[in-house]
Amino acid sequence: MLRLFTIALLVCLYAEGADSLVWHPKARTFDLNFRERPLNEFLGYIKSETGWEVKVEPGLSQLVDGKFRGKPAADAIRLMLGGTQFKLVPRIQGGTRLTVYSGNIKAATQEVQSVVQDAAAFEETLIEGELQITLPVKIHYFKSKYASINADPNATDLRPLFAGMNEIWEVANLRFLLNQPELIRADDASAEREYANLFKPGVPKAYVRQHQSRILHKVLPDMPDRGKAFHIVLIYTMPDAFGAVYLPAKGVILMPQVKFAKLIDPNGVWKDGSPVFYAQSNILAHEMGHALSLNHVVTQGNLMIDGRFREGLGIGPGVDLSLEQVEKARNQAKTKGPYVPGVNPKPDAGE
């Protein structure tokens, strides 16, 4: 009887949570929990979490209501919209477009504005009897006079990346939420110039690898809440082949917007490099694992595998996590901050 009461209580707590939407980009499914939410707001949640282009016919004012988990995208939208028509298609230039209309698709002319979810929507979520830990992440765009490292806020759609990272970390009942992005500048102008010079032709790769980390630690300022909050700094590119990197002393994940550069002219003008965003969700999730105190492993398919030992041609590491890794990550998450030596050390096992 006690067990049945406990299960009923957990279901009740989950059901009473605030309106929320979780997008699983790899599985292309939604978890939804909405009660009489205006259509435009519901579509705003979708736009925010998926990064899709969303257009709606002006004047549609229905309320949407529903709750389910693991529903394929088109099925989920169909259930929520009822008789209202929609079209969900890939765009020729990339991405996905969702169009919602009553009769004629050409009437869907209004761009939907993003609605960012509040952390409170997930604070009391219970999944399989375990409380989900929600961790806000502070985003910073690095601004510089050097084109090679000057971040472009329009170059990276972060929410789909976070959705992919959340899908991976769901096994640990951890969820990361973006805060409003801010600008950040170099803490040391001479170090900023020294870092930009690493892109110049003729700089040996061995020199870059030897000095890049040292210079970056001088370039990036110490955050006032170092070790007490999670931070991601976006930089335009890096001269060495990092998809992203965690800097423990700074408590910061540094994430390039494009694949590492091959050539920058003496004036720091961007000359070459992949236009494809390099830090895929797996790579971002891997670096978040380091922030959550996890070390590299040699196990194939594991999220934390050292890149030197990874086999296969897929982008980034695997997605698997062991029970021990899950426990360590959750222990770190309970501190509400990343692992920073001397500031926020790794919790003892079993805490």
How do residues 254-287 score in pLDDT, each as one tens digit?
998 876 555 444 454 444 444 444 457 888 999 9
Domains of the chain (ranges; CATH) run: 19-111 (3.55.50.30), 135-333 (3.40.390)
pLDDT of residue 310: 78
- Number of C-beta neighbours around residue 60 at 10 A: 18
| Angle subtended at Cα 53 by Cα 50 and Cα 55, rounded to the nearest 5 degrees | 125
How long a stretch of residues is the chain? 351
Q: CA 348, CA 351: separation in Å to the nearest integer?
A: 6
pLDDT of residue 129: 58
Q: Are 21 and 49 in contact (CB under 8 A)?
A: yes
pLDDT of residue 127: 53
pLDDT of residue 26: 79
- Number of C-beta neighbours around residue 90 at 10 A: 9
Q: CA 194, CA 142: separation in Å to the nearest integer?
A: 16
Note the pLDDT tens digit of each residue in 48-63. 888 889 999 999 989 9
Rg of the chain (C-alpha set): 22
Q: How many CA atoms lie within 13 A of 319 on its CB side?
A: 14
- Number of C-beta neighbours around residue 11 at 10 A: 11
Residues of the chain scoring pLDDT < 50: 1-16, 263-266, 268-278, 350-351
Buried b (16+ CB within 10 A) or exposed e, 95-118: ebebbbbeeeeebbebebeebebe
- Candidates 134, 114, 59; CA nearest to 330 is 134
Identify the bridge partners of residue 66 per DSSP, sorted by sequence position: 34
pTM: 0.76
pLDDT of residue 313: 58
pLDDT of residue 4: 32
- Candidates 215, 209, 223; CA nearest to 193 is 215
Residues near 109 by beta carbon (within 8 Å), at least 6 away in sequence: 55, 57, 58
- Candidates 260, 253, 267; CA nearest to 223 is 253
Letter for the amino acid at 195?
Y
pLDDT of residue 200: 83
pLDDT of residue 132: 84
Q: Which two structure tokens, joined as six digits, stand for 249?
A: 């002393």
| Angle subtended at Cα 102 by Cα 97 and Cα 104, rounded to the nearest 5 degrees | 75
- Per DSSP, the chain holds a count of helices (H) and strands (E) of 8, 15
